[in-house]
Each structure stands twice: as C-alpha cells, then as structure tokens.
Amino acid sequence: MQKVYTKIESIAGNVISVKAEGVRNSDLAIVTSSHGESLANVIKLEGETVSLQVFAGARGISTGDHVRFLGYPMRISYSEDLLGRIFNGSGIPRDNGPELTENLIEIGGPAVNPAKRIIPRNMIRTGIPMIDVFNTLVESQKLPIFSVSGEPYNEVLARIAMQAEVDLIILGGMGLKYDDYLYFKETLEKSGAMSRTIFFVHTASDPTVECLLVPDISLAVAEKFALDGKKVLVLLTDMTNFADAMKEIAITMEQVPSNRGYPGDLYSSLAARYEKAVDFEGAGSLTILAVTTMPGDDVTHPVPDNTGYITEGQYYLKNSRIEPFGSLSRLKQQVNKDTRDDHRALMDGMIKLYASYKESQEKKSMGFQMSEWDDKLLQYGDLFETKLMDLSVNIPLEEALDLGWEILAECFEPKETGIRSELVLKHWPKSAS
Amino acid sequence: MARNSGRVTGVNGNMVTVQFDGDVSQNEVGYILLGEQRLKSEVIRISGKIASLQVFEMTAGISVGEKVEFTGLMLSVELGPGLLTQIYDGLQNPLPELAQQCGFFLQRGVYLQPIPDKSWDFTPVAKVGDTLFPAQTIGTVPEGIFTHRIMVPFDFANVAWTVDSIRPAGTYGVREEIAVLKDPKGNKKSVSMVFTWPIKRPITNYVERLRPTEPLVTQVRIIDTFLPVAKGGTYCIPGPFGAGKTVLQHMTSRNADIDIVIIAACGERAGEVVETLKEFPELIDPRTGKTLMERTIIICNTSSMPVAAREASVYTAVTIAEYYRQMGLHILLLADSTSRWAQAMREMSGRLEEIPGEEAFPAYLESVIASFYERAGIVKLSDGSKGSVTIGGTVSPAGGNFEEPVTQATLKVVGAFHGLSRERSDARKYPAVHPLESWSKYASVIDAGKVAYARNILFGGNEVSQMMKVVGEEGTSLDDYVVYLKSELIDSVYLQQNSFDPVDFAAPIERQELVFDVLFKVLGSVLQLEDKKAARAFINEIRQKFIDWNNTARDDERFEMYLREIEELVAQRFVGYERRAAKILQVK
Ligand SMILES: Nc1ncnc2c1ncn2[C@@H]1O[C@H](COP(=O)(O)OP(=O)(O)OP(=O)(O)O)[C@@H](O)[C@H]1O
Ligand SMILES: [Mg+2]
C-alpha cells in the first residue's frame, strides 16, 4: 500500500493524525515535510482517523505534508554487520557506515513462554567486591542501578561492561548527554571492546519519540543474538528518560495519568522490556543492566518504584559507592552456593556487622558513650568502606573474600563475628590468630 | 442460533471497538479474525451498536474493517479431572503444551485444549432412576491423591435431574459420554467428565456458608501463632518491593496444611514461577508421600504477557478453586500480586475513558476487590461434607505506602493483614511481617492469653527502644531494659524464621506449641539479673540456644538436649513468675 495522504488533520505534541483506510495498528509511515523525512508509527485507530507518533518530532510539520504508509511495523536489520556500529533510535546509522537493510526482524516481539525458562545458573564476574561478593550478578538477570543524578553511574556501567565475560554488548542510550555518549565510545574503543558492541543511541538533543524506540530496538537485536547462542549484555541508560518520554506521549494522547503524570501502564511497559532478560536452554542468554536515575533521590518516585517491582534486585549507587543496604541481587542465592564454601556466610556476616557499625556510628554522633565493642565496630566499618566498598577496588571474587577475612581478623575475635566455627577455622588468616 | 459478527472500527492499545448487527452480551467472548489468526477478546462495554472489547493479545497489525465473530459465550474455563499439576496462562491455555507447539515464544491466537484428552477410571455413584441436582455426584475418578467427583454440571438448570443412563465402572475418555440426565419435562442431556463455567460468576452450589474457624496451618511461626489464617478465610500481604512477599507465598505454597494449592502468578516476574515449576515436581510432600506438584495448579500470567489476560487470571484461578471445593476439599489460592490485577483494570478503565477515581483507579475498584475475596469461604455441601477456598493475595503498593487505593480496599474486606515492613527486610529480619501493625481476626492455635501476653511485651519493648533512642541505654531503667531484651528475644527466635534453612523453614504446629511454651516461660519469668550487661549476656545466651534448637530436626538427639539446656539456663536465674504470667500458667 503506497498511497500518499496529503491532509494531516491534527498535530499535537509529536502525534499527528490523518484520515486513511486499511491502515494497521503499529504500522510504519514516512512523513515528508520541508524539513525532510521522518518515520512514524501508528498508535491509535479510530474509524478513519489514524494517529501516528512522528519519530523525528512534529515540530515544523504542516497540515499539507505527505504521509505514506509502509504496510509493515518497525523493523531492524539483523546480522553480524551490526557489530561495532552506532545507530539512532530509528535504526539509522549515526556513524559514517552504510545503512543496513538485509534480514529485517520485527521489534517488540512476543514474550518468552514461562514454561521454556530455566533457573539462572551462571555468575557474571565484575571485579567489584560490592557486586561479586555481596550482590552477585547472574547471567540473564535484569538489574538496574538506582542512582542520584551526579553519581558516576555511566562509569560503573562501562566498567561492568568491560569486565564482564560476555560475547556481545548492546548499549541503548536514552537522553544520553553527548559527553557521556563520547565517554562510552572512547572507553569501548580504547579497550578494544568496540568490535563486539552495538550502539543504539538517543542523545538529550534528539527527538523524544526516538528515545522510546531505543529499548525495543536494542532488545530485539539482543534477543536474536541470544537465540543464536551468544551471551549478550544489554546496557540501558537512562530508563528514567525512557519513562519520561512515555509520559510525554501519554499526555499528548490525553490519557488519564495515574501517578505524577505517568501513564497507568508504566509498570506493564517497563516490565515488557525488562522481562526480555532470559537464558535460553540450548542457546545464549540476555542480561540487562540498566540505569534508573532517581529524581530528587526519591526511591518512591514512580520510575524507580515500578522498576524495583519488576527487576531482580537493584544496585543502589550513593556517595560513589554501591550501598550495602538497599542494594539487592535476588538471584545471588542461585550462584553463591557454588563459588566458595565461605561466600554466603561471609556475605551475611559482614553485612550484619556493618549494620551494627552504622548503629554505633549513630550512637556516637548523638554523643552516647562508646563501649569497647562500639570501637571495634567503628574500626571495622572504616576498613570495610575503604578496602571493599570503594569503587576503585578491582579484584577477583576469591581475593575479595580473603580480604574480607583479613578485615574481620584485624578488628574482631573469631567468636565475635557470628560466623559458623568450622568456616572460621578454615579461613581465619593464620597470621592474625 | 446463528451468532453475530461485526467489524472493527477502532484500535487503542489492547482495546478494540466493534460495530455489530444483532445482539451482543456484556462479557461475551469474541474473536478478531486477522488472516489465519483468531484473537480472543471480551466485550467490556456496549453502547448502541458499538461494543468495546479488551483483546487478550497484542493488537499490532489489526486494522479498521477487520471481521469479528461473537461466540455468545462468556469467558469460561474447562472443569474436570486433569486440572491438577497443570500450568496455565490466564485464559487456561496450557503453557508446556504451547511451548511444545510454538517453541520459546508465546504465539498469539493459539488456544489449546485446557484439559488433556486422557482416560480415567470411572466408578459410578448414582444409579439409573436416581434424581440429582447440579453439583451432585454422578461418579468418581481417582485424580492423583484425590477422589475427583464427577458432578452434574453446575450450569444445568437447578431442577431434579433423573439419571436416564449411566456407564458402568470402567475406563473412559474425559470427553466421552458417561451419563444421560433427564429434566422433569423429559428433556435429555448428555454428560461427560468435563464442562465449562464462566469465570466471573461465583459457583454457589452449596447448602450454607460457615464461619471460618478452623486454622489453616502455614508453618510460618509469626503467622500461625500471632497472625493466623483460617480455612475459608482471606488475608493479604502488602509490602514494598523486595520485602519478601513472593518468598513468603512460595513457602506457604510448599508448607501449608491444605489439600490443593492454586498459585496465581499475576503480572509478576516469569522467573519466579520457573522456580516453582522446576522445584515442585522434585519435592516430596511429607503429608502425602507424593510430589508437591500433585496438589498444585499454576495460573501464570506474568508481567510481559497480555494485560487483559492478567485481569482474567485471578478469576480463572478462583473458579478452579471453587470447583475443587465442591468435592469437599480445602483449597488455598495464592495470588501474587493483586495490585497488577488492579492495574490491569485501571488500564482498561482509562481506555474506556471512565471517570477516574483515586490514582486513576476506576471507581468500582473497591467493589471488584470485595467480590473477588467474597469468593473465599468454607461451605457445607449437599452431602454434608465441608469444602473451603482460602484466598491470600499480595499487594504491591506504589512507593511502599499502604495509604493507597488497592491496599485500602483490600484491608476493608480481608480477615488478616500481614504487612511487610521495609525496615525489617532491610535489616534482613525475615519474614518481614510487621508484628505490631499487622492483625488477624482469626483464632490462633496457641492459647490466646499467652499470645496476648507476648504481644504486650513486643509493644512494651518497642516503646522502650524508641525511648532509648532519645535517652540512650544509660538513661533506661533495668526493668525497662529487660522488657526490651525480651521483646528482642521473641523477635529473633520466634518471629524471624529462616526460609532457606533445611529445618527452620517449616515449623509444624506441635513444634510451635512446644517452642512457644518454653519461650513463654522465659518471658513470664522474673529473672535475677544484676545489671544491663548481665541481662544482655544472659538473653544472648538464651537466644543462641533457641536458634540452635530451631535449626535442629525433631528426631535429632540434640533436640532434647537444647530444650534441657534452655530450661536449665532459665532455672539458674529464676526468681518467680510475673503476676499475669502466673495467672495464665495457673501457678503461684
Ligand atoms: N524469608 C526470607 N528469608 C530469606 N531471604 C528472604 C526472605 N524473604 C525475602 N528474602 C530475600 O529478599 C528477596 C526479595 O524477596 P521477594 O522476591 O519475596 O520480594 P517481594 O516482596 O515479592 O518483592 P516484589 O514486590 O518486587 O515482587 C529475596 O530474593 C531474598 O533474597
Ligand atoms: Mg514478589
């Protein structure tokens, strides 16, 4: 169907409507205006009236501009040629490489049948003790970094990506600052990881609608590679911008907002994306690590709140550290039983002691007397924060566990740690006792 | 009767408007014909000649003018032997069979037969000439560990049906005729082992509803002792994300002392269902010696599956529960999470442009939640036996704040409230049920006086701990401090329970009674403690013993040893019983 419609009935926000026949929901169209061409997709049908969201934005579109329906939904080319390339949210190259048109796949495909899923089983090593020891990342996990703006969340994301032993990295940038975009690009190039990376980037200055497409396009490609046996890591930053773009469209479409202006289907929309994380039996896997900035450092804000209800834990980034409280990997118990015999006990024991340290610290700040025990805890907390929590620490899990024992031995008697005696006997540093 | 058809006039998200010719009824099922595909939908509003349908599938590719076929039937489930051990989506599509046919992904428009075509050993109960009413037993088949009653279909007219013919004992296919019934006017109807029932209509074939008084043992101490649930009762578990709602329900689904468990995974993570799916067929249920799967049905409409089917899933679950209740069985329905179901209603209501209520939930939210929980209950059946449906739903309040419409509407109708607290889960005090804010209207298995006494200490300890934050430990009296320590003791050795410990994860009721009695004696004792340091050291020692005891299996020889050691420890410092405790124990 190649009929061209030349009468745009209404323009509101980035949504236009035309009267047309035989158009299918979700299909693509090309809108041609004096500013050039833009893709658009159908988001609503009402009698003859077809509403479309214009990817490049409706600014400057005139009622007499042309709309041509393509008769198919949003697609992206899938092949090894994608590797090392950079695209925008509509799948158009942002680098100087050629446009890819072969082997097109649809985006936003159906969900995986729960009966076909398997229990996650492989740890992803990052070299960051706060992750590896305390909140282990697992292949096929979906996990956001909850961050206050201004925290080095993109650095953390890049670091995990560089260190993770995966076959392929797909970076979906939404509302990315141009500097951050360059930072990712340079970091990946420098480390030689660029050749196994695909970028889908929407920067802060690009049209809003393209921001909406980034997760779907990134995940569609990732899913395909995973089906082809690859271990894929998808990085999405920043999902709060994605949610805000959804909010914008919802308001344009005059949907009733549910909470602080966000549409009622915020949960379902976020879940549809995050649930793409999967481990395919007999093939590859798809792991999602996302950034969710928390407006006003408020974890109850609808975006982090809905995200927390969907994902399998979260890393809480605060004061340039991954906080032990608030951070959670819900899949850690699937893998930390097989790493080392002291992993679980040390993880629990050290966090409980750190919680006691926080209490002592509070007591101290209120001017209450410090006991001998309080002093030990204060020393411990300090060592924990500098030697393990600091983000610059980069050591393998086993070394981090050993370091944990050393810190304990420096501050406590074995029986004060609350850790099972047999483990203490085996792992307590010989020099200390 | 020739059924109606219509044409699509609009598509908005998962709602489609259809112009139709003849008559269409509310909640009737229609199919949108999209090439080869038939997309299942339900009529949710009729206005003039336009019907609004919620589509149980993704609506991409639908265009105006597409043909719609109406079925004249309401959204229904199939009922009959073979439901147990099944894994269905919200519309009763069997997911493993779907996977066999379609592979990794769910394919829209594929609807498979819910009840597998299988043969069953039928034993007739009724004889030719007997008269039966709907839901009365025609015969039985053994379904795993249960005697499955083959009943007069519930949708038969409520009159005395005469058995015209019935097949002798033998093996028959599930859809084969096993009897012919005749109504008083002589109209004959054939009956097989399977029939259908509309999910949004409660099954009411019972003599009377009874008050839920019999405890439903979950083997979670804080619940059974302090915040009990009754068979045929209702309860809810609200809590912020990550507080432990799913883990708590998962443990309950494993350990609850009940005949059948139906898990409705409603709009939550698919990964969580997988754990149940893979574990239950391996876990032996000590009560039956069979795997847990044999008493379980999973209705699974996870968050990335179509939203409209999510709305249907809780009704599918409760209808199957009511069906088994009619066999004199006790069923526990666990829904995780009811908020996702409410959100599905909200999405639809928004598309219908209804006037929104608080947080954009529809104005009828409260009544819909109330009528869902109303489908729980314990009933007396026509043969005198009793059956029950208990409903436990999690609630996922926005921002973890219970002052929101779904939590509030739920609290109005349920019999017990197990509120999870962020503070407790952060401190890794699991299960993170808040002991002071939660409540239950049902009776505990443990003596009410003792429970009240312990609760008092919890309240008292909480007050002291608040006060200590202001005046410090040094500004607190020894007596107050001891109350505080005792409340901490209850918390750490009784309220907290390690779900991942091979022994502690389930506390049978006899064990709870024993442990609580021993604990009560500690709580009720006046102890000789010189100062706070001694008090803390003493309580720590007791605590350690209790924890070791909790982690020791009943048949382990150390079980009695720990018990003795605790009693000896207390005896060393025992001065006498506190006045109210003495009264409860009927000692001086
Ligand atoms: N009883 C428990 N014992 C030990 N750990 C627990 C317990 N309950 C919860 N946890 C820990 O907390 C994590 C989150 O629990 P769970 O998935 O039940 O939360 P939830 O309340 O269902 O969250 P959501 O609303 O996001 O689904 C678990 O993965 C586990 O690590
Ligand atoms: Mg949950």
The residue type at A407: I
| Cβ within 8 Å, pair A268-B99 | no
Domains of chain A: 4-73 (2.40.10.170), 76-334 (3.40.50.12240), 343-432 (no CATH)
Can you tell me which atom of ligand 1 is nearest the CA of A331? 29
Residues whose beta carbon lies within 6 Å of some atom of ligand 1: A 309, 330; B 239, 241-247, 268, 396, 430-431, 499-500
Please count the residue pairs, one from chain A and one from chain B, whose beta carbons lie less than 8 angstroms apart.
176
Decide if pLDDT at A302 tops 80.
yes
The residue among B238, B237, B265 whose CA lies nearest residue B398 is B238
| Cβ within 8 Å, pair A305-B472 | no
Q: Which residues of B284-295 are buried (b: 16+ CB within 10 A; e: fewer)?
A: ebeeeeebbbbb
Cβ proximity of A249 and B328 under 8 Å: no
Residue of B247, B255, B268, B504 best suited for mutating to test ligand 1, as the one with most atoms within 8 Å of CB: B247
Number of Cβ atoms within 10 Å of the Cβ of A186: 12
- Residue nearest to ligand 1 atom 23, measured at CA: B242
The bound ligand whose nearest atom lies closest to the alpha carbon of A306 is 1
How close is the nearest chain B Cα to the Cα of A45, in Å?
5
CA–CA–CA angle A79, A83, A86 (5° rounding): 110
CATH 2.40.50.100 intervals, chain B = 119-193
A285-293 and A278-279: which strand pairing? antiparallel
What pLDDT was estimated at residue B1? 44
What pLDDT was estimated at residue A2? 67
Tell me the pLDDT of chain A averaged across its residues.
92
Can you tell me which atom of ligand 1 is nearest the CA of B269? 27
**Topology at the third CATH level for domain B119-193:** OB fold (Dihydrolipoamide Acetyltransferase, E2P) (2.40.50)
Task: Name the residue among A257, A312, A369 with its Cβ closest to that of B271.
Answer: A312
- Residue nearest to ligand 1 atom 3, measured at CA: B499
List the single best residue of A18, A19, A25 to mutate versus B (max B Cβ within 10 A). Answer: A25
What does pTM read for this prediction? 0.94
Residues of chain B with pLDDT under 50: 1-2
| Cβ within 8 Å, pair A276-B304 | yes
Q: Ligand 1 centre from B241 Cα, in Å?
A: 8
The bound ligand whose nearest atom lies closest to the alpha carbon of A142 is 1
Q: Which residue on chain A is closest to B34 by alpha carbon?
A: A24
| Cβ within 8 Å, pair B103-A116 | yes
**Topology at the third CATH level for domain B4-74:** Thrombin, subunit H (2.40.10)
CA–CA–CA angle A310, B293, B108 (5° rounding): 50
pLDDT digit string, tens, across residues A70-102: 999 999 999 999 999 999 998 999 999 999 989
CATH 2.40.10.170 intervals, chain B = 4-74
- Residues in chain A within 8 Å Cβ distance of B400: 300, 305
The residue type at B180: V
Cβ proximity of B305 and A111 under 8 Å: yes
- Residue nearest to ligand 1 atom 31, measured at CA: A330
Mean pLDDT of A153-158: 92
Return d(Cα A42, Cα A49) in angstroms, integer.
10
How close is the nearest chain B Cα to the Cα of A43, in Å?
7
Task: Name the residue among A113, A351, A368 with its Cβ closest to that of B472.
Answer: A368
| Cβ within 8 Å, pair B269-A264 | no
The bound ligand whose nearest atom lies closest to the alpha carbon of A307 is 1
Cβ proximity of A161 and A169 under 8 Å: yes
Return d(Cα A171, Cα A183) in angstroms, integer.
12
Return d(Cα A269, Cα A411) in angstroms, integer.
48
Cβ proximity of A307 and A314 under 8 Å: yes
How close is the nearest chain B Cα to the Cα of A149, in Å?
20
Residue of B218, B221, B223, B246 best suited for mutating to test ligand 1, as the one with most atoms within 8 Å of CB: B246
Return d(Cα B94, Cα A310) in angstroms, integer.
24
| Cβ within 8 Å, pair B304-A333 | no
Task: Name the residue among A24, A256, A310 with its Cβ closest to that of B350.
Answer: A256
CATH 3.40.50.300 intervals, chain B = 206-305+315-435
Decide if pLDDT at A432 tops 60.
no
Task: Name the residue among A46, A259, A271 with its Cβ closest to that of B304.
Answer: A271
Q: Ligand 1 centre from B424 Cα, in Å?
A: 12
Q: Ligand 2 centre from B527 Cα, in Å?
A: 43
Joined tokens for residue B513: 């009674």
HEC string for B415-483: CEECCECHHHHHCCCCCCECCCCCEECCCCCCCHHHHHHHHHHHHHHHHHHHHHHHHCHHHCCHHHHHH
How close is the nearest chain A Cα to the Cα of B269, in Å?
7
What pLDDT was estimated at residue A395? 94
User: Residues of chain A with pLDDT > 90: what percent?
Assistant: 71
pLDDT digit string, tens, across residues B571-585: 999 999 999 999 999
- Residue nearest to ligand 1 atom 15, measured at CA: B244
Question: Coil, strand or helix: which one is B555?
Answer: coil
- Count of CA atoms in the C-beta half-sphere (13 A) of B222: 29
Return d(Cα A192, Cα B537) in angstroms, integer.
58
- Residue nearest to ligand 1 atom 9, measured at CA: B244
pLDDT digit string, tens, across residues A371-430: 888 899 999 999 999 999 998 899 999 999 999 999 999 999 887 887 877 788 899 998
Helix B338-351 and helix B365-373, axial crossing angle in degrees, nearest 10: 140
CATH 1.10.1140.10 intervals, chain B = 448-585
**Topology at the third CATH level for domain B448-585:** 1.10.1140
Q: Which residue on chain A is closest to B240 by alpha carbon?
A: A309
| Cβ within 8 Å, pair A264-B472 | no
Q: Ligand 1 centre from B391 Cα, in Å?
A: 20
| CATH number of the domain located at residue range(s) B206-305+315-435 in this protein | 3.40.50.300
